[in-house]
């Protein structure tokens, strides 16, 4: 039996990432990933158009300097038809709050939120760069937030559907608590290799007995790329 969305404590959370054929999301020096095609870009924009919030880590913002607003007129029209704001909230996760206010991200026509700590929030008290600054508690030395406390706050603030765009540490922290519902992975026809090249799920990793099981919901090929849509299986499923 599927879960009643009205009784959920947490937003419906989907990870959306492009990766190389060998499972890397960037090269060994963490160059901003630009190996996805125009079809992958269109896919990402279409998925963003379905959600209320887009979340990504500070390292992802530093790498790209910007986020991805919806520009497709049809997607914008669809959001209007669903009585949604034209752009979802773009939410940066940064324990330190150490972000460059000159990044292009801060000039983009999108609503911006910041999730940080009490210490990280100090830097943004007198600035108008973020519409909302949320304070979270860290769980461990890896700067992992207490997502079981934070995600219900997101839902109370109107984020029913949440997209996570990286990086691997953020994905790992959510996955470790079984707080990810689905994944969209685009497999691109390129190989980077390298033990230091980041992957979709970083952190300390899971033992084989703890591995997160998936159910394949959809697979499609567009030119040379494969788009994989998975559901995360809970232990009770």
Domains by residue range for the chain, with CATH = 8-232 (3.40.430.10)
Specify the 3-state DSSP secondary structure of 93: strand
| Per-residue model confidence (pLDDT) at position 50 | 98
Q: What is the pLDDT of residues 159-174, one digit of tens each?
A: 999 999 999 999 999 9
| Per-residue model confidence (pLDDT) at position 139 | 86
Residue 65 CA: distances (Å) to CA of 58, 61, 92, 101, 103: 10, 5, 12, 10, 5
Asked whether the beta carbons of 86 and 77 are under 8 A apart, the reply is no
| Per-residue model confidence (pLDDT) at position 3 | 54
Asked whether the beta carbons of 26 and 32 are under 8 A apart, the reply is yes
**What are the 10-residue block averages of pLDDT along the chain, 237 residues in total?**
64 98 94 91 98 96 95 98 97 96 96 96 89 92 86 97 95 95 98 95 90 96 98 78
Pairing label, strands 89-93, 112-116? parallel
**Is the whole-model pTM more than 0.95?**
no
| Rg of the chain taking only CA atoms, in angstroms | 17
Residue 237 CA: distances (Å) to CA of 61, 134, 171, 182, 214: 35, 33, 21, 14, 11
Q: Answer left, alpha or beta for residue 79, where phi above 0 means left and psi between -120 and 50 means alpha.
A: alpha
């Amino acid at each position: 039996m599927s879960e009643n969305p009205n009784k959920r404590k947490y937003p419906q959370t989907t990870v959306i990432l492009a990766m190389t054929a060998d499972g890397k999301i960037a090269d060994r020096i963490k160059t901003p990933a630009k190996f996805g095609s125009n079809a992958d870009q269109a896919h990402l924009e279409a998925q963003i158009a379905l959600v209320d919030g887009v979340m990504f880590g500070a390292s992802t913002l530093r790498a790209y300097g910007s986020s991805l607003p919806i520009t497709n007129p049809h997607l914008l029209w669809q959001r209007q038809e669903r009585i949604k704001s034209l752009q979802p909230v773009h939410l940066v996760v940064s324990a330190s709050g150490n972000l460059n206010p000159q990044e292009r991200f801060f000039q983009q026509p999108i609503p911006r939120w910041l999730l940080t700590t009490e210490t990280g929030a100090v830097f943004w008290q007198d600035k108008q760069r973020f519409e909302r600054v949320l304070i979270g508690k860290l769980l461990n030395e890896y700067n992992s937030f207490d997502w079981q406390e934070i995600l219900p706050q997101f839902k109370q603030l109107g984020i029913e559907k949440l997209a996570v765009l990286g990086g691997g540490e953020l994905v790992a922290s959510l996955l470790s608590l079984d707080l990810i519902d689905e994944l969209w992975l685009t497999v691109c026809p390129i190989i980077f290799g390298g033990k230091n090249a980041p992957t979709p799920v970083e952190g300390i990793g899971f033992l084989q007995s703890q591995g997160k099981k998936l159910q394949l919901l959809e697979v499609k090929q567009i030119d040379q790329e494969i788009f994989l849509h998975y559901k995360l299986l809970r232990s009770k499923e």
